[in-house]
Structure 1
């Protein structure tokens, strides 16, 4: 977001585990505020309201007020402040979002995140605003829209923009149009029509003409533009309809016209449609005659209906960005106001919503899981169950490991837990790394306490005194709180307290108080019961297990998916003890997702740069896909073997290793030598592979299976719809029964453990044709049908056996596409259809490439053209690789022999 217009008088504090905005000195108390001069009262009020609005829109937090008046006795805020806070939330129920507490010279306003409404039922705006800056006509006057009305107005405009290419001009008042076309009016003439929905009469104020014109233009012109168009006559009495005009000596018409046009052109226009047009208007000066002589003029402005939305100024709505409180632009405000769960083709058939945007923080993103996989409730019960009584430590394996490594840790933690009787203590070697922050090497462990009748507490255990220990704990707690609300969708009142513990090498332990204790939160911020604890832990599951879905690139907005328990457990490994790991994963089990996530964890755990982590794969499209994520240095295996300049590289992740070859040298030995340069502190070497998708008979360069240790398996297939998954299973069985000679049969036993997602609808078709032209016609007609029914070009991939076939089929397929009739697809859509290779996988085009080059990638719909292998023994492997690329629909089209 581009929110450069920030309020420099508001300070976002960095020493708290919550979002705290200091507004400086403010006079509080009803009586005290009434004594203030109007300007000072408004300035103080604006600071408080802007800070509160920014916190509502940014996940909640605390407004810190330094009391300008005597603080010996408790005081209330003041009625004017309360009224404006009520306007912010469009509700009289202040306590639903705001609570206050006076502590010494400071007054704290605790702000819950905007999202969950005290009312139920009707939809509400996604963002909180003091003023929409959207005007409309209401009867014979203009009216400023409230947040809910603005929300409905924008949703309606968005809907109409999708249905209509152009808003038709409306003739709102024939009589007004007739007068507008005249050149002259008589002084004192009574116009034959009154003010109405489409007509406004104004008299010219000569005290400050420029300011007057700016004022009426900024409100009345948007009101007409947003309400079907209309006419503004300046120089006509509104009650009598009498023409009074303004004397020719008073105003220079050319100058006044320029001021009006400039004022209109500076209005904020926001589009949902593709036109990007500006307001269509006409400014005229009608001569006003007095007994046949020119006396003066009447200014008339005709405004055409506007296709989308016109603002008088940027809405009065704020957010926190970094260390600044920033006012949103009109475009940003509209984007957030109408933000909603994406309408994805077939999404409800394939996925189940785990977090919708309804009632959530304005910064939340939708979260889905594939059908057949665990929901967030199931994941929470598996990973972070809340027992009916007692305090549980989890993960138990990590607790045992930490207790054995540090003799006095168990005593120290148990002492801290003594006051608490029920809940769960979640341990981690670094909660910072879990939240995608950098690890602090002096930290032994972190522990998050979720317990009844208490706020969340984050404990950090240090091995030695460290001046930055508290700031680390505070920063981690701050990030956790923000993510629980803005990513995890938690809707309750929430804070995270911090506590730093010192466990010296001698076994001595002590507690160091945290800065968060300086703010005493209300008891409503404590977790009251099992229901609240489990709701928070389900939000925590989303924070820890969510990843950016590959669907995000296809639909143009961010969507999050959830890891499986199996995937999460691999990612949760202690990297200091798992420097080398082989991960065998079935097709569609999420190997590339885990590879990307582990590289992020490596960077944060070891404090290294992206240039120090190397990702190696066999094909260029997958390399480019990973490069675009900007999480590492990515190369192909061929480049890895030909390039000797890897001096910066410390850690290596290998993907799709089953398709590697030794024709350019021993890649495994080279990778091992690079990561083991530092004998005392070797780097990471993680290798992802799937023998079932081996595409050649040559040596892969992988060590023998007995030397692939330690080893983990991903046997939960999560990508394919049921019909495709059934076909994949059949092909895998064929591979297992007749493996190519270069595949160790023992490595195919993972098939016995395979688990498949259920109840995901889809389509799988295998058909033979007599000629290639018939195949081209079928693909073309099917693509026509798919594109007419909501799919886009970026949903479709057409895969061939080899590069020679791609060169042959590309002109045939492109030619067939160009022959489409206009009755099948519009001319505009026809021009948008492009066919390219997989190098730009995120582009809006149909992919035409080889099966091998598409390895590691996926699309909703995949066509396979006459699949065959140069080495017959790997034909089933090739078919498997082809089929597993398709999420929803698979078409394998073969030439009859």
Structure 2
């Protein structure tokens, strides 16, 4: 089922989400005079807009006043009550501000977050809803659960399902059936006829509901009435809905036979029930179990009419009366959420990182962040987002800083009058930080605009953030570019960075006039006057916002995303960010040497995304070249470039290619021709073509000429010296191996290239395991590896966590056979699932696995044909392991 679009209009000319709801009657006295249908229609539009903004990062509702009051008026109590229902609190000011400007009335909406209110410490759901459409029985009543109750109900259902999954497959769960012979409702249900006026021998209860037939439109009445009761009985316990019985007297009244078609009535009931939304947490995907019976109603022995009884049995998971009433903004449209989407968002929670909690530290938790945020984690031992913020974007009391200083100096020297222009704009401000970029659009993964000298974000006290775009000359599209970039920035600060305060971003477009050096061209880009509560009140609020900015600028998709089946973000280190944020127009060719596990491939992927936005090129114009197929496939599946191996690169023309990224270049060879010369020729076709080469001389795994230019000819070089991948015991082992490589240096590695080791930093604080084990024969090796793999699989790891690496592909086949025999023997008497999983464990050669990584790595008999590179090959093997290494 797809989202249903609302008729509400999302206006696109503001740096914020602004939803226009058209004309609304405002003021309590005015609203009381409205006809009921008009009042409900206006309330529906208003509620949809408010709910959509709460769920989508916040924004503004713009209303045209339908009444002619000349003085300022309040909204109206019924509209305020809609807002209270959405946030489940009386404290409207926590999320809403209002302001009247002429005939326009604005409601400023802060993004929802599930932090509890001060007066209510209960856990809040992840999203806002007008109605959950989830019903339950409470004594004789049908109750629609509010969002908190629905959240707890769904959480309990999910937890019960997960408990059942954990039970041994051989254990039979016994369900005691209800003793129907003593249940008077069941005895009536089993009858074929009732007497008109007969008093049923039981009252309404948690399991019984009486309803009368409507005097007209009987089929439609039943269709609109039964969903709530079916949902309530299915979500509670077994229940009986009697239609044709007076709820006060318990008398059977039925429906006259001439007023109803029994077959049509039964078909309509069954069709209505079949359409009720259902959500499963279990594997059964079973249907709702119910029975519809039409009973004859006799009067004096003659057929008078009919009564209807619907018996509903408990449902395994959740049944809704209709799709929940909840909205969000999607693709600039206000859309209603489908039931599945609503449940997914409602139940969205931090992943269970129990097995990884010793390795990663939470930077942004879903428990207190806006609805669209994703969890953010950093490797333990790396800087917290607060530390990163203070390193990159410090807030100094009484000082207004321009950062990065090097970029400010470059821009000031390149553009006469720029310093004067910006200093003039900064005169009203004395405390804060101005963050400059050649293109904030590129920083936010948008396309660069030609003619922009730079963008700047001012974060200062007693003001909302202000976004400046400085153009070379006046440009008709300058304002829309500035507005669009500021809009994306605001949305990302909330929905990605997790900022929970009230936030807007003001815009201003400036241009440098060649005639008068510097001149302001356009004023504020927002026609909406935000309330003072949207100003950053103090240094703490400024730092909170800048920490969200750190997440926006430094985050990347983590390998945990695939492992856990949900989107997880990690943060770049300062060193990685500084290389990524380089001006690629001024660094068309760059050699990046990085130690094992320092994040070379991550930076390579980020740079390709940046190239696409800076130069406006297509994926098939960016070429990623590596040595092995597995790494090629991994990058190719990201959809950001054309990925090939070196051999393919040398055998094709690649006429469309403009930019080339080389990865793991230390293992390239010239056996198929001079790959570096070819890459240079291709990237010299255009003025702005990029050639970046990533390498690690320590991981050179052959004695041939790599084809890299001499170290002295690598004129533009950067180094990645902070190792962030490996657990502490593995990192210590790598350090010992690298020292041995320096002592026993292969002839094809330049001596000076290994001096990078002196600058090495090792991320500490992550526990792990590293062992070197000697086995007497191949059979013992196979048995040992099989036993360890079995243990990991039984303890929650998957085959994707494990790889077994051998020196060559010939040895892969040999050792795989020795592994399979003990594995089959051990699983004959055990859970067959473990056996199936074990068959999916990857066996590869060390060289073919270059550039990749796993939580658990087994290295079997690592050896090199040339003894001079033995330690290099051993380093290649060991550095692939994140947590557990067995050699």
TM-score for the superposition, normalised by structure 2: 0.96
Cα shift at 1:815: 5.0
Deviates more, 1:578-587 or 1:180-189: 180-189
Q: List structure 1 segments (4+ residues) > 6 angstroms apart after TM superposition.
A: none
Post-superposition shift, 1:178? Answer: 3.5
Residues 779/477 of structure 1: CA separation in 2 closer, same or farther (3 Å cut): same
Equivalent residue in structure 1 for 2:756, among 750, 758, 768: 750
* Aligned 1:217-236 pairs, distance under 5 A: 217-236=226-245
Moved more, 328-337 or 778-787: 778-787
Segment drifting more, 803-812 vs 68-77: 803-812
In 2, Cα distance between the equivalents of 1:168 and 1:655? 60
Question: What is aligned with 2:876?
Answer: 881
CA contact (8 A) 2:591 2:692 kept: yes
Aligned pairs for 1:423-502 (under 5 A) are 423-502=432-511
Matched, 1:395 2:404: yes
Residue 615 in structure 1 maps to residue 610 in structure 2: no
Q: How far apart, CA to CA, are the structure 2 residues paired with 1:187 and 1:276? A: 41
Secondary structure of the residue aligned to 2:4 is coil
In the TM superposition, what is the alpha-carbon distance from 1:242 to its structure 2 partner? 3.4
Q: Distance in 1 between matches of 2:540 and 2:754?
A: 44
Residue 169 of structure 2 is matched in structure 1 by none
Aligned-pair Cα RMSD in Å = 1.9
| Displacement after TM superposition at 1:248 (Å) | 4.0
Residue by residue over 1:582-633, the C-alpha shift from the partner in whole angstroms, topping out at 9 and shown as x without a partner, is 0011111000000000111111112222111111001111111111111111
Aligned to 1:591: 600
- Map 1:579-658 → 2, pairs under 5 A: 579-644=588-653, 646-658=654-666
Residue 774 of structure 2 aligns to a residue whose secondary structure is: strand
Structure-1 residue corresponding to 2:682 = 674
More divergent stretch after superposition (160-169 vs 343-352): 160-169
Aligned partner of residue 349 in structure 1, secondary structure: coil
Question: Quick check: 1:398–1:428 contact (8 Å CA) kept in 2?
Answer: yes
State how far apart, in whole Å, the 1-side matches of 2:226 and 2:326 are: 22
**Contact kept in structure 2, 1:170 and 1:305, CA below 8 Å:** no
Matches within 5 A, 1:17-166: 17-70=15-68, 72-115=70-113, 116-119=115-118, 121-164=121-164
Structure 2 equivalent of residue 690 of structure 1: 696
CA drift of 1:80 comes to: 1.2
Question: Structure 2: how far apart are the matches of 1:522 and 1:100?
Answer: 8
| Pairwise CA distance, 1:198 | 1.9
- Give the CA deviation at 1:177: 3.1
Residue 574 of structure 2: which of 565, 580, 592 is its match?
Answer: 565
Identify which of 178, 181, 189 aligns with 1:171: 178
Residue by residue, what CA displacement relative to the aligned partner does 1:454-498 show, whole Å, maximum 9, x if unpaired? 110011111111101111111110000000000111110001001
* Structure 2 counterpart of 1:737: 743
Q: Please tell me whether the aligned partners of residues 789 and 838 of structure 2 are also in contact (alpha carbons under 8 angstroms).
A: no
Secondary structure of 1:713's counterpart equals strand
Bigger shift: residues 698-707 or 341-350: 341-350
- Give the Å deviation of 1:641: 0.3
Partner of 2:170: none
Check whether the contact 2:116–2:123 (CA below 8 A) recurs between aligned residues: no
CA distance in 2, matches of 1:395, 1:650: 29
Sort the Cα spacing of 1:669 and 1:495 in 2 relative to 1 into closer, same or farther, 3 A: same
Q: Corresponding residue for 2:583?
A: 574
Structure 1: distance between partners of 2:567 and 2:432: 34
Give the secondary structure class of the aligned counterpart of 2:74: coil
Deviation at 1:818, TM superposition (A): 4.2
Q: Which residue of 2 aligns with 1:792?
A: 798
CA distance in 1, matches of 2:428, 2:206: 67
Q: Which whole-Å CA distance do the structure 2 matches of 1:389 and 1:604 have between them?
A: 37
The 1:184/1:42 distance shift into structure 2, 3 A limit, reads closer
Provide the secondary structure at the position in 2 that maps to 1:450: strand
Separation of aligned partners in 2, 1:569 and 1:199: 68
Measure, in 2, the Cα distance between the counterparts of 1:786 and 1:178: 55
Compute the displacement of 1:512 (Å). 2.7
More deviation, 423-432/500-509: 500-509
CA distance in 2, matches of 1:75, 1:481: 30
The answer to whether the 8 A contact 2:468-2:509 is kept is: yes
Q: What is the rounded CA distance, in whole Å, between the counterparts of 1:822 and 1:594 in structure 2?
A: 46
Instruction: For residue 294 of structure 1, report the CA deviation from its aligned partner.
Output: 4.7
Deviation at 1:368, TM superposition (A): 0.6
Aligned residues: 876
Counterpart position of 1:6: 5
Q: How does 1:371-410 map to 2 (within 5 A)?
A: 371-410=380-419
Aligned partners of 2:307, 2:828: CA distance in 1, in Å? 51
Contact 2:421 2:520 in 1 (8 A): no
* 8 A contact 1:720–1:886 mirrored in 2: yes
CA shift in 2, pair 1:257/1:305, >3 Å: same
Give me the whole-angstrom Cα distance separating, in 1, the residues matched to 2:133 and 2:396.
51
Separation of aligned partners in 1, 2:666 and 2:207? 71
Q: 1:809 Cα deviation (Å)?
A: 3.6
- 1:781 equivalent to 2:787? Answer yes
2:355 to 324, 338, 346: 346
Greater displacement, 712-721 / 748-757: 748-757
> What is aligned with 2:769?
763
Structure 1 residue 745, shift from structure 2 partner? 1.9
User: Structure 1's 876 and 458: CA in aligned 2 closer, same or farther, altered over 3 A?
Assistant: same
Distance 1:400 1:455 in 2: 26
- Are the aligned partners of 1:784 and 1:824 in contact in 2 as well (CA < 8 Å)? no
Q: Residue 850 of structure 1 corresponds to which residue in structure 2?
A: 845
Q: 2-side partners of 1:98 and 1:150: how far apart?
A: 24
8 Å contact 1:599–1:613 — kept in the other structure?
Answer: yes
Query: Larger deviation: 175-184 or 699-708?
Result: 175-184
TM-score computed with the length of structure 1 as normaliser: 0.95
Secondary structure of 2:50's match? helix
Tell me if structure 2 keeps the 8 A contact 1:235–1:246: yes
How far did residue 360 of structure 1 move? 1.1
**Equivalent-residue separation in structure 1 for 2:814 and 2:254 (angstroms):** 76
Match for residue 291 of structure 2? 282
Question: Do the aligned partners of 1:63 and 1:109 also contact (CA within 8 Å) in 2?
Answer: yes
1:71 and 1:294 mapped to 2: Cα distance? 63
CA displacement at 1:43 relative to structure 2: 1.2
8 Å CA contact 1:138, 1:197 repeated in 2? yes
Q: Tell me: CA distance 1:270–1:394, structure 2 relative to 1, closer, same or farther (3 Å).
A: same
> In 2, distance between residues paired with 1:298 and 1:809?
74
Deviates more, 1:38-47 or 1:456-465: 38-47
Greater CA deviation, 254-263 or 56-65?
254-263
CA distance in 1, matches of 2:256, 2:818: 74
C-alpha distance in 1, partners of 2:704/2:443? 40
For the 8 Å contact 1:368–1:559, the answer to whether it is kept is yes
Mapped pair 1:707 → 2:713? yes
Cα distance in 2 for residues equivalent to 1:178 and 1:771: 75
What residue is the counterpart of 1:842 in the other structure?
A: none
Q: 1:735 deviation in Å?
A: 1.4
After TM superposition, give the deviation of residue 325 of structure 1 in Å: 0.3
Q: Which runs of 5+ in 2 are unaligned?
A: 166-172
Asked if 2 retains the 8 angstrom alpha-carbon contact of 1:499 and 1:511, the reply is no
Secondary structure of 1:217 counterpart: helix
Kept in 1, the 8 Å contact 2:15–2:526? The answer is: no
Paired with 1:264 and 1:34, the residues of 2 have a C-alpha distance of: 38
